[in-house]
A and B are shown apart, each in its own frame.
Chain A
Amino acid sequence: MKIFLIFFSLSQKINLDFFSIYDFNHKDYNALLQPNLILSEKINWFRVYFNGGFYYLKGEKYEEIDWKLYQIYLKFYRERVETKIGRIVFIPGFLGIFNPFYKGLNFETISTIYEGDDGLFFRYNHFLSPIIFLYEEKSFKKINSMIQLENNFGKFTNGFYLHLKDKNGIGFFIGYFSSYTIKTSFLKERDNFKLNVLFQKRIKNLIFDLNFYHNDDGEILLFPGAYLFSKNIFSLEMKFPEKIFEVPYILIIYDFTNNLPLILFDYKYTFKNNIIFETGVLSYLKSQKLNFSIFAGIKVILAH
């Protein structure tokens, strides 16, 4: 009884997600059912956060059923000090699909959920806001660390990033925020160099993002229904911030490495306050052949 009372007193959010993709060229499909529960509560200087749920992925030739714990942490916050322990998401530098510091690159759909790493996080909010994140690399059972310094100065946000692991990495990020935005991030690893330059401009009711991404090793970029293995990418994103009931998004990518153009059109439609439908098309030209996939999803949000 007590457990139920505690549960209902917490701030809750339940997402019921269904997402499916069909690739016309490979005649392959993927269907994902992913209900998850988010609980969050503040008690004095502490905050508890939980994000987990059921995961069911069905493909043409495979099936995965699992219970997932995406994030769970206890946060302590007092004055300028912030610490977290548990399964934590930390995205260094600037948030974005071509962030060179963040593991894996992905395109956000309504079913995208950030999955954390088990570790300890510390931030001191001051002039340089140092962050230290110690985490366990699951596959090698090894402790790695990320260190970041960040400063907001006038129209600039600048930072330094250090990733201590088997391939140590050192990086910098600089952002300029004015009537236009420029964000630059680069990361030097022992045998690799990654760079991302983003130029963002609002023109009337549209937001344009021009992105350049370079990676010496080449990197797999995952999109709904397709992936690229590329060293150099140029992209143009278009967002329509005035739209609220229907949220269109257009992403045009030119992959220099594979000489591959790709276009993605994503459309989210809000039925009511808590039901969102998403559909889209991904099309790319490979070996003079037009490939395309369609995807669709629905998200129901319940909150208390």
Chain B
Amino acid sequence: MKALILIIFTINADEILKKLREDRKIESSRFYAKIEIVKGKRTLFKEFEGYSKGSDFYIVFKNPEDKDVKYLKIKNDLFIYIPDIDDIVRISGDMLKQSFMGTDLSYEDLMQEDPLRYYKPLNIKDTVINSDTLYLMEIVDTTKKAPYFSINLFIDKKNILIKKEELFTKNRRKIKEVQILDYKKIGEKFYPLIYIMRDLRLKNSYTKVVFKEIEIGIKVKDDIFKLEYLRK
């Protein structure tokens, strides 16, 4: 009997994770986003537009302070275009783990082709949040390559959508929390449109990302992900 329950659980959890991975997999996109960075009583806004292809991305900032500053990530390298000198500065790939423009997101958090690919389900159970019954699934990194050791996923049962993520370090310290407030259905898949990320190591701090425009699976020119494109 125990073995049967275990098989049912394995199939169920694995299938849910597979569905979530399929939904989160973004081969290419075009986007226009606004970021609200809140630290205590202070708020800062950033605006950018760009393209992604796999884990590579190209971003142009639109807010006054960073206007026309461009970021290009190619594989493990990051290049920044500075309009004042009309030239490019190369940044070490190690810097991708650091905060994206002072937000609670890292560069890795922002753009990952398939962020759940490193994980396997550990357990799944029902939980209730705001009178909604959700799945609570714990997944763990089995590859030692993921930015977070384990994640608690709170999943809407009807559409199998993540409502909330709790991100843990290896010593079970919860360091970040993501709440997905809205999704957009494109084709048969749902994509996060508005989400809030909290770095729990910082007090009263959160970052809200709102995708004002998003197109998924579109044809993106290879030229965009070349250094020459930054200087255009």
| Chain A interface residues (CB < 8 Å from chain B) | 11, 13, 38, 40, 42, 47, 49, 51, 75, 77, 80, 82, 84, 88-91, 94-95, 113-114, 125, 152, 157, 175, 177-181, 200, 202, 205, 207, 241-245, 270, 272-274, 276, 301-303
Answer whether A95 and B85 are a contact pair too, CB < 8 Å, given A274-B65, A303-B67.
yes
Tell me whether A245 and B44 are in contact (CB under 8 A).
yes
Give the distance to chain A from B42, nearest Cβ to Cβ, in Å.
5
Give A88 to B84 CA distance when docked, in angstroms.
10
Answer whether A13 and B64 are a contact pair too, CB < 8 Å, given A157-B90, A175-B90, A244-B101.
yes
The secondary structure that dominates the A interface is: strand
Tell me whether A95 and B87 are in contact (CB under 8 A).
yes
B3 within 8 A of A: no
- Residues 72-121 (chain B) with a chain A CB within 8 angstroms: 77, 82-87, 89-95, 97-99, 101-103
User: How many pairs of A and B residues are in contact by the CB < 8 Å rule?
Assistant: 99
Answer whether A125 and B77 are a contact pair too, CB < 8 Å, given A89-B85, A114-B84, A245-B39.
no
Partner of B228, one of A80, A178, A242, A303: A80
Partner of A301, one of B64, B92, B95, B227: B64
B231 within 8 A of A: yes
Give A105 to B232 CA distance when docked, in angstroms.
28
Beyond known contacts A77-B231, A245-B44: 5 more, CB 8 A cutoff: A40-B68, A82-B228, A241-B95, A243-B102, A303-B67
Give A38 to B86 CA distance when docked, in angstroms.
13
Tell me whether A244 and B37 are in contact (CB under 8 A).
yes
What are some 17 contacts across the A-B interface (CB < 8 A)?
A13-B64, A13-B67, A13-B68, A89-B86, A113-B84, A152-B90, A157-B90, A202-B98, A241-B98, A242-B102, A244-B99, A245-B39, A270-B65, A273-B64, A274-B65, A301-B64, A303-B63
Give A85 to B83 CA distance when docked, in angstroms.
16
| Chain B interface residues (CB < 8 Å from chain A) | 37, 39, 42, 44-45, 63-65, 67-68, 77, 82-87, 89-95, 97-99, 101-103, 227-228, 231-232
Give the distance to chain A from B223, nearest Cβ to Cβ, in Å.
9
Give A152 to B79 CA distance when docked, in angstroms.
11
B residues in contact with A202, CB < 8 Å: 92, 94-95, 97-98
Tell me whether B92 and A179 are in contact (CB under 8 A).
yes
Give the distance to chain B from A43, nearest Cβ to Cβ, in Å.
12
A residues in contact with B94, CB < 8 Å: 178-180, 202
Partner of B45, one of A40, A243, A273: A273
A residues in contact with B101, CB < 8 Å: 244
A residues in contact with B102, CB < 8 Å: 241-245
Partner of B64, one of A51, A179, A302: A302
> A175 — nearest CB in chain B belongs to which residue?
B90
A residues in contact with B91, CB < 8 Å: 177
B residues in contact with A244, CB < 8 Å: 37, 39, 44, 99, 101-103
